[in-house]
């Protein structure tokens, strides 16, 4: 899939990297083995995490700083990784959706990266990362109409379909998803991003029948 970062984003966020993983998957219920893996990790993190520690995690801090540079309040519109980590810190754990989404959430809390995940077959044409416009229509998963003005926003030929705060209903992963697109939002550290992308593929191979993956980094 062709993915570009707009010149406007590049000017304000020159250190932004997009870690792109395209992979064929078998979406289904989360197995007990995967649930145990996630719950064990959550229990371990819950003992150590505080709101202050979450804010200072390099990946979380970089994402929040990026929101500020774009003119969006990151405490009102939190990056998805921070929202997940705060759930863990508050003892709420991670909810289970399906194996593909649940692996994504596990990777996000492990790394602090905000990660976008889409059913690639629902995306039409070229993908461009830009910034949201005032009153631009967007329905976030579980959030209803979302004000995406000044947020980083992925668009295709039909309009906005993704942000690092909330993925959209239009391109959401369901039990019918077979072609999965994951985009990791990162800043600066290319080597670490490459390592995490390789680990991501291993998890999808093990827990979601992942195969025929394509990896790329865009800046």
| Model confidence pLDDT, tens digit, residues 45-67 | 999 999 899 999 999 999 999 99
Residues 6+ apart with CB under 8 A from 89: 45, 46, 49, 50, 51, 54
For residue 182, which of 195, 170, 171 has the smallest C-alpha distance? Answer: 171
**Residue in the structure block whose two tokens are 């992979």:** 23
With a CB cutoff of 8 Å and minimum separation 6, the contacts of 103 are 34, 200, 203, 204, 207, 208
pLDDT higher than 90, residue 143: no
Q: What is the pTM of this model?
A: 0.94
| Half-sphere exposure at residue 7, Cβ-oriented, CA atoms within 13 angstroms | 0
Domains of the chain: 3-218 (3.50.40.10)
Q: Is the dihedral of CA 33, 34, 39, 44 positive or negative?
A: positive
- H-only helix segments in 57-98: 58-70, 80-89
* Strand-pair category, 3-5 with 16-24: unpaired
The per-residue pLDDT for range 70-96, each reduced to its tens digit, is: 999 999 999 999 999 999 999 999 999
% of the chain at pLDDT higher than 90: 96
Average pLDDT over residues 130-143: 94
- Using the predicted structure, report yes or no on whether residue 111 has a pLDDT greater than 90: yes
Closest CA to 127 of 99, 102, 162, 95: 162
Using the CB atoms, write b or e for 15-29: b if 16+ within 10 Å: ebbbbbbbbbbebee
Average pLDDT, the chain: 96
Contact present, 131 and 151 (Cβ < 8 Å): yes
Q: Residue 125 pLDDT more than 90? A: yes
SS3 39: helix
């Amino acid at each position: 899939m062709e993915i570009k970062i707009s010149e406007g984003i590049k000017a304000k966020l020159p250190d932004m990297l997009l870690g792109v993983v395209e992979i064929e998957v078998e979406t289904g219920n989360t197995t007990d083995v995967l649930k145990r893996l996630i719950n064990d990790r959550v229990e371990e993190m819950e003992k150590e995490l505080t709101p202050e520690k979450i804010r200072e995690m390099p990946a979380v801090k970089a994402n929040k700083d990026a929101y500020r540079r774009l003119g969006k309040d990151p405490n009102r519109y939190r990056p998805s990784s921070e929202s997940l980590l705060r759930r863990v810190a508050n003892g709420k754990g991670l909810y289970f959706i399906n194996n593909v989404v649940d692996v994504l959430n596990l990777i996000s809390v492990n790394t602090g990266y905000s990660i976008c995940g889409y059913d690639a077959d629902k995306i039409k044409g070229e993908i461009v990362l830009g910034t949201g416009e005032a009153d631009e229509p967007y329905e976030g998963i579980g959030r209803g109409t979302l004000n995406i003005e000044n947020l980083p926003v992925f668009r295709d030929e039909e309009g906005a379909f993704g942000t690092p705060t909330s993925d959209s209903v239009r391109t959401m992963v369901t039990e019918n998803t077979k072609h999965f697109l994951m985009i990791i939002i990162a800043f600066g550290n290319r080597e670490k991003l490459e390592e995490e992308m390789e680990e991501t593929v291993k998890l999808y191979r093990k827990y979601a029948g992942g195969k025929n993956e394509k990896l790329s980094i865009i800046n």
